[in-house]
């Protein structure tokens, strides 16, 4: 099996000096995630310095390191380890003939990326690469690129941002052949004057398109024309997806199946394709249409993509489902604990509404919404009522406007922290309940999911 990188490869890519000969099979910059054969990138930071964890990384099996300080360990020394990580990312991108897809959007980035990986991996097993977890920022994107083997056939990379200009840089590293914007919605509005500015920032992804590249745009978005205009100078072709029949990729017919997913017959250009989306919810149908458009754009197998969508399970923190032991029975838990904004809250509450049994919603505050935060939180009252939520457990100070909006409309309990929620939640649950857990990651609702999964309720 060929190594991912040799020390001489790394030195050449980063203009560094190899202090020893070694070869690596992976790359990591978090010492806790280092495994046997990895390259450990010792990044500096305001709070800590990766060089402090070199001994730990090698104790866990690191084969080499990328450093800017003296070390007795096998390493390549460079002037700046972050700049070197980006150089390694550029070298990884330059050495492959893979078809590369970049994914961004206010909602659905990670889900679409994972679904794309599953769809393309069906036809090119062990030759499809994607960014793991939500590694979509200024360090996660170059790390994901640096991990891409030279023989990769398809690469799928998620790109995120919370300030203008971030995607403009990341997309020059990824250099996608296909660039997807999943949706535009209120997210990180603390840093943007309005949704149009968010659309402009997301459309920066198109600037990195390779010659002949394809832009994939949500037809149903009110910002569709703005996105198309932004893509036009960089894209050889623009493909739209959505529920409207005028979209290039759209559903001709949909039908909910017994498992909660959706059977879709879709128009893909001049062709028809039938497939099942395993995950419930209209937002997942939209994600699937974007996936189909992208698979078609890179020449993947649409039939195999459909099979992958039918088999796709929920992701931890983004729709995973589990049965939790409560009292003398079990409750269904829908784990959406990783992130939240107004659009994704409404979408997942709609999913909860279709579940049998009593509905319980554990909702954490939505962060980085700026001056509009009170109104965005209060506006969740109607989706909660529409979802027939028996009890809403609201977590975080920013949920106060929602608590006020729910007065007289629905039963709720408002607590300041996830720890406080853990104390009161057991008394709210009964066998047969459907429990949605969703909030911004910083609220820490993953602790609640872990407690439910561990039978600690």
pLDDT of 132 above 90: no
pLDDT at 32: 92
Helices (H) and strands (E) in the chain, counts: 16, 22
Q: Cβ contacts of residue 60 below 8 Å, gap of 6+?
A: 31, 34, 35, 36
Is residue 90 situated within a structural domain?
no
Residues 117 and 71 in one domain: no
Kindly report the CATH number assigned to the domain that includes residue 74.
Answer: 3.40.1390.10
Q: Does 131 map to a domain?
A: yes
Contact 124, 155 (CB under 8 A): no
Q: pLDDT tens digit string along 311-342?
A: 998 888 888 999 999 888 999 999 999 889 99
CATH number at residue 411: 3.90.190.20
Give pLDDT, residue 376: 94
278, 327: one domain: no
On whether both 247 and 370 belong to a single domain, the answer is no
Tens digits of residue pLDDT in 403-447: 999 999 999 999 999 999 999 999 999 999 999 999 999 999 999
Same-domain status, 339 and 304: no
- Is 157 found in the same domain as 284? yes
Q: Is residue 374 located within the same domain as residue 277?
A: no
Other CB atoms within a 10 A radius of the CB of residue 346 amount to 18
Is 196 among the annotated ligand-binding positions? no
Note the pTM of the prediction, 2 decimals: 0.87
Same structural domain for residues 302 and 337? Answer: no
Q: At which of 27, 56, 83 does a domain end?
A: 83
Q: How far apart are CA 123 and CA 48, in angstroms?
A: 42
Looking at per-residue pLDDT, the higher value among 194 and 265 belongs to 265
Domain end among 311, 346, 379: 311
- DSSP alpha helices (H): ranges in 372-442? 373-378, 381-386, 400-406, 418-424
pLDDT given at position 313: 85
Say yes or no: 277 and 357 in one domain. no
Among 311, 330, 357, give the residue marking a domain's end. Answer: 311
Rounded CA separation 86/83 (Å): 5
Nearest to 366 by CA among 404, 339, 400: 339
Residues 6+ apart with CB under 8 A from 337: 317, 364, 437, 438, 439, 441, 445, 446, 448, 449
Give residue 185's pLDDT.
82
Q: Report the domain count for the chain.
A: 3
Shared domain for 77 and 115, answered yes or no, is: no
**412: which strand partners?**
392
61 known member of a binding site = no
pLDDT at 188 over 80: no
pLDDT per residue over 348-385, tens digit each? 999 999 999 999 999 999 998 988 999 999 999 999 99
110 assigned to a ligand binding site: yes
Q: What is the pLDDT of residue 138?
A: 92
pLDDT of res. 21: 97
Identify whether residues 227 and 284 lie together within a single domain: yes
Residue 214 domain-assigned (yes or no): yes
Q: Looking at the structure, do residues 327 and 416 belong to the same domain, yes or no?
A: yes
Residues 142 and 264 grouped into a single domain: yes
Residue 89 lies inside a defined structural domain of this protein: no
Nearest one of 190, 196, 133, 203 to 162, comparing CA atoms: 190
CA distance 51 to 84: 15
Q: What is the overall mean pLDDT for the chain?
A: 94
Q: Give a yes or no: residue 88 inside a domain.
A: no
Domain around 21: 5-83
Binding residue per annotation — 111? yes
Count of all residues that appear for the chain in the document = 457
CA atoms of 78 and 44, how far apart (whole Å)? 13
């Amino acid at each position: 099996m060929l190594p991912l990188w040799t020390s001489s490869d790394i030195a050449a890519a980063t203009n560094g000096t190899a202090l020893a000969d070694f070869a690596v099979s992976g790359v990591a910059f978090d010492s806790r995630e280092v495994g046997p054969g990895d390259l450990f990138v010792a990044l500096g930071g305001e709070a800590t310095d990766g060089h402090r964890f070199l001994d730990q990384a090698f104790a866990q099996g690191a084969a080499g390191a990328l450093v800017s300080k003296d070390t007795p360990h096998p390493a390549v020394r460079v002037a700046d380890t972050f700049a070197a990580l980006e150089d390694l990312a550029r070298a990884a991108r330059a050495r492959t003939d893979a078809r590369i897809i970049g994914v961004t959007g206010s909602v659905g980035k990670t889900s679409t990326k994972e679904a794309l990986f599953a769809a393309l991996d069906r036809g090119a097993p062990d030759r499809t690469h994607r960014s793991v977890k939500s590694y979509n920022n200024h360090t996660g994107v170059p790390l994901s690129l640096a991990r891409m083997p030279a023989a990769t056939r398809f690469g799928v990379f998620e790109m995120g941002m919370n300030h203008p200009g971030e995607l403009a840089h990341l997309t020059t590293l990824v250099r996608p052949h296909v660039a997807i914007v999943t949706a535009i919605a209120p997210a990180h509005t603390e840093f943007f004057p309005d949704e149009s500015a968010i659309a402009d920032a997301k459309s920066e992804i198109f600037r990195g398109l390779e010659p002949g590249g394809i832009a994939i745009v949500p037809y149903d978005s009110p910002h569709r024309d703005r996105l198309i205009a932004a893509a036009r100078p960089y894209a050889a072709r623009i493909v739209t997806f959505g529920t409207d029949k005028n979209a290039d990729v759209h559903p001709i017919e949909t039908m909910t199946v017994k498992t909660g997913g959706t059977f879709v017959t879709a128009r893909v250009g001049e062709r028809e394709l039938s497939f099942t989306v395993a995950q419930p919810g209209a937002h997942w149908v939209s994600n699937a249409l974007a996936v189909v458009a992208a698979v078609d754009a890179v020449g993947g197998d649409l039939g195999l993509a459909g099979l992958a969508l039918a088999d796709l399970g929920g992701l931890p923190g983004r729709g995973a489902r589990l049965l939790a032991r409560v009292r003398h029975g079990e409750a269904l838990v829908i784990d959406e604990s990783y992130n939240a904004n107004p659009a994704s809250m409404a979408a997942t509450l709609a999913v909860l509404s279709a579940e049998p049994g009593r509905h319980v919603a554990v909702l954490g505050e939505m962060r980085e919404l700026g001056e509009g935060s009170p109104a965005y939180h209060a506006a969740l009252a109607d989706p909660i009522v529409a979802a027939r939520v028996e009890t809403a457990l609201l977590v975080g100070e920013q949920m106060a406007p929602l608590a006020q909006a729910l007065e007289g409309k629905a039963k709720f309990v408002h607590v300041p922290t996830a720890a406080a929620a853990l104390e009161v939640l057991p008394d709210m649950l009964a066998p047969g309940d459907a429990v949605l857990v969703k909030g911004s990651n910083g609220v820490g609702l993953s602790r609640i999911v872990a407690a439910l999964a561990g039978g600690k309720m």
